[in-house]
Structure 1
Amino acid sequence: MEAEPHDDDPRSLDVDRAVQDALDWLTLVAEASEALASTLEVEPGLRRLSRVLVPALADWCAIDLTDDTGRLRRAVLEHRDPEMATAALSELLLPEADHTSTAPLARALRGTEPLQLSDFPDPDRATDALHRAELEAFALLGADRAVLVPLRARHRVLGVLTLVRTGPEGPDEQGRLPLITELAHRIALAVDNARLHALVARTAERMQRSLLPALPQSGPLELAARYDPARAGAEVGGDWYDAFLLPDEALALIIGDVTGHDLKAAVAMSQLRNMLRGIAADRKEPPGKILARLDAANHILYPGQILTCAYALVTKPEPEAGWLLHYAVAGHPPPLLVTREGDARFLEGGRSLLLGVRPGSVRTDAVEPLPPGCTVLLYTDGLVERRGEVLDHGLTRLRGRAAALAEEPVETFCDRLMDELAEGGTDDVAMIAVRIPDTTPRCYTATAE
């Protein structure tokens, strides 16, 4: 019977080394997969991945991606010395090269297997502009040996992964080629998935924007509206605004938010918006009754679909009377009233449950006098909600900023709110504002100097 190897036996050392290499391999693959899965945005994920590859597999690495024309763009460059990487990233768009180019990047794009390099000529010996750019990068950042792997996914070449050692130290790349090839495959799939996700998001956003209405000509009333998709991430939701004149010349204002963050939510938004338009145009009823009818129709036609909505009517019953706001709010943030003097308060009347939660729920409404020169703002929760923050903080922030903008034109009023408050959000934002005409003179108090 063959004796078992002892701890000092060469066979035992070989086994231990093989086990350790396998563990290192699995750990590296797991860390790389986690980095790639941490975001659906291409470049942030690749930057996190590059910090795993350097120094585990290279002293510096580059990931170059093809654009729609097939030209390479340097998406990521990671070096042991961050200052070196910054110096080499002065030009992100790499020079073009034809199908005969001898540049390593061009050869890698044409090939199917990893390309190994150990000879790095002087940049003056370059055969074309892309070749020169590569040789200049190797000379600037250092190179003793390199591996270039094409990034292929779904029968397409999406770019090239370059791993470079600057000295003879470190394990031999030949034994790690299967690992490097596996990582390149995972990178390619992540890039392709991110691009597909971005395409779907752009399609949903274009559709959503195309469905948002042109604002009506509403006589003395000034109207402005804004829509902005989520700035963090690539998702698109079901936020919408609407405004139209009814036969009795009342101005209908609507803001809504359908649950979900995808193309399905955008489609549901368009269906429910049109349904609400039809109900409002057909029925001369208070806002609470209109929302109750929308809730009933939503339950019949789209069971399980949940949304929030605020529906308001701006009316002037008599020529000499003041303007009034009739409104109802179903699970939505309250309208904000800002006077011309800068007093801001939320309108808390006419509140009821979200639509789609409990069909048949009572939908109340409220009436608010609108003083001359005031602004009424309807908005979605993306303007005030922040992760890890109490909602009241966001509402307080909105009220303060809106009060400070009370005298600005209504278009500027909306622009500034969007710029200053939507920046830190993770959800879509829609808003619509109406400015009541300022028909009374202001009173000024003289102050002696």
Structure 2
Amino acid sequence: MTLVAEITDVLGQTLEVDEALARLSRVLVPRLADWAAVDLRVGSRQVHRVAVTGPEGRAAGQEDWRGYLPPVGEATHSPLVQVLNEGAPVLQERVDLDAPPDSPLASVHDAFLGAIGAASAITVPLGSRRQVTGALTLVRTDPARPFDTGDLDVAGDIGRRVGLVIDNARRFGRQRAVAEAMQRNLLPPLPAHGRFQLAARYQPAPPGSQVGGDWYDAFALRDGTLALVIGDVVGHDLTAAAGMAQLHGILRSLAWDHAEPTGAVVDRLDDAMHAITIVRMATLVLARVEGPDTGPWTLHWTSAGHPPPLLLTPDGSAQYLEAGQGLILGTDPCASDPRPSAAHALPPRSTLLLYTDGLIEVPGSDLTKGLSRLRRHALALAHEPLDILCDQLAARTPLGSTDDVALLALRLPVP
């Protein structure tokens, strides 16, 4: 029971199948068995041996036994096939291991057992009788210490728990894939706007984390002014991705034909958010780049609790634009004070970076360090083409980050 409780705790720490099985193997070998093999169903008949673990990580007979196995047959006496087809655990003693194989899958499995010198083996289903996800095979090589029926009960309990974890992980993976596809498809193409250069990147959260509601946008307003948006809807699931799409469309509509300050536009978005979207809270920066085609240019912006824009100038400096900070959207619907707006000159050849917190934040770490790290990396890349700068910044997401990243970059031309 102690072993089963430990395995349950270990499996509950990840939603990645490969990582869960690796952790499982490290607990089972050598605590319960000398060798462990995990086979997963791929489709109705195909089987993939995804993990083989032995003493101190040795490969059986100096051969890698992982990979796709022959298809599962119908009528066969092979314990592995019986488990995959019928979902009943099987205990093999020495006499059983000496029986000739009666199917290609049994032949491969018996060859594996022979290569590692199996004295007794247990094969149990992953999952339940109604839904067998795969099979777990445990092997002992010492004839004086064979498995017994008590071991079979323990292994069967472990198999049921592992099957549940695999099912949850696959379900999570499907949801994550849908959310990521939805997120990418909703992010708009960047416009061609005069001689301004624009580039953007979206990077989903690392495996094991859920996709969030990060987004970017750039579009021309009614008077031809370029508008820039970076935002992050609170939440990490399909609901956040759907909320991001709603907020994105409404903000475009509110900003397009109103020449009012950026703070006033976001105030109207805040007023409308709870009535016409599913978003509870969100952060964003709304900015406008004003000025004639030949310059000079001025950035007008407001921030709703979002990390500050970073301005890189040709003289080698990097400045966070920390003015214009207001409350997060959704936190104070009865606020009477207008949201602040700010303005700052944009020098020729300068680069403006708008980003979400996945680029700077690691759970449990100091946000100031994340901002310093981004400034250092951005300065080192300031003279690179804009696409390379964005690629490199996205690639340098801090270790331990569990959030997705949206990045929008603007480079000003030479007058």
Q: TM-score, normalised by structure 2?
A: 0.92
Map of 1:438 onto structure 2: 414
Which residue of structure 1 aligns with residue 331 of structure 2? 357
Distance 2:174 2:383 in 1: 40
Distance in 1, Cα, partners of 2:147 & 2:124:
16
Q: 1:67-101: CA deviations, max 9, x gaps?
A: 24642222222222322369444643334454356
Q: Secondary structure at the match of 1:93?
A: strand
Q: How does 1:108-257 map to 2 (within 5 A)?
A: 108-118=83-93, 119-121=96-98, 129-153=104-128, 155-170=130-145, 172-257=147-232
Contact preservation (8 Å) 2:304, 2:329: yes
2: CA distance between counterparts of 1:387 and 1:395?
Answer: 14
The question of whether the paired residues in 2 share the 8 Å contact of 1:41 and 1:234 is answered with no
Identify the residue that residue 3 of structure 1 maps to in structure 2: none
Displacement of 1:323: 1.6
Q: Provide the residue aligned with 2:377 in structure 1.
A: 401
Secondary structure, aligned partner of 2:88: coil
| CA positional deviation for 1:269 | 1.1
Distance 1:172 1:421 in 2: 48
SS of residue paired to 2:365: coil
Structure 1 alignment gaps of length 5 or more: 1-25, 440-449
Following TM superposition, by how much is the alpha carbon of 1:375 offset from its aligned partner in structure 2, in angstroms? 0.9
Distance 2:48 2:314 in 1: 51
Partner Cα distance (2:244, 2:294) in 1: 38
Match of 1:421 in 2: 397
C-alpha displacement of 1:220: 0.7
In the other structure, the counterpart of 1:331 is 305
1:381 counterpart = 2:347: no
State how far apart, in whole Å, the 1-side matches of 2:65 and 2:156 are: 28
Q: Aligned to 2:137, what secondary structure does the other structure show?
A: strand
- How high is the TM-score relative to the length of structure 1? 0.85
In the TM superposition, residue 35 of structure 1 has moved relative to its aligned partner by 1.4
Radius of gyration: which is bigger?
1
CA contact (8 A) 2:243 2:279 kept: no
Asked if 1:315 is matched to 2:267, the reply is no
Q: Map Cα deviations across residues 203-224 of structure 1 (whole Å, 9 max, x no partner).
A: 1111111111111121211111
Equivalent position to 2:41, from 63, 66, 69: 66
- More off after superposition, 273-282 vs 86-95: 86-95
1:279: Cα distance to partner?
Answer: 0.6
State the AA in 1 paired with 2:134.
Answer: G
Return the offset for 1:255: 0.5
Q: Give the 5 Å matches for 1:23-42.
A: 26-42=1-17
**Which string of whole-angstrom CA distances, capped at 9 and with x for unpartnered residues, describes residues 384-420 of structure 1?**
0012321111111111111111111111110010012
**Distance change >3 Å, CA 340–CA 141, structure 1 → 2:** farther
How well do the aligned residues superpose, as a CA RMSD in angstroms? 2.3
1:70 and 1:197, CA in 2 relative to 1: closer, same or farther beyond 3 A?
farther
- The Cα shift of 1:102 comes to 5.8
**Aligned mates of 1:376, 1:217 — CA distance in 2:** 17
Gaps of 5+ in 2: none
Contact 2:47 2:72 in 1 (8 A): no
CA distance in structure 2 between the aligned counterparts of 1:249 and 1:101, rounded to whole angstroms? 74
1:344: which partner in 2? 318
What letter corresponds to residue 332 of structure 1 in structure 2?
A: H
**Kindly, what percent of the aligned residue pairs are identical?**
44
Question: Which of the residues 331, 342, 345 maps onto 1:366?
Answer: 342
Tell me how many residue pairs correspond in the alignment.
411
**What letter is aligned with 1:178?**
D
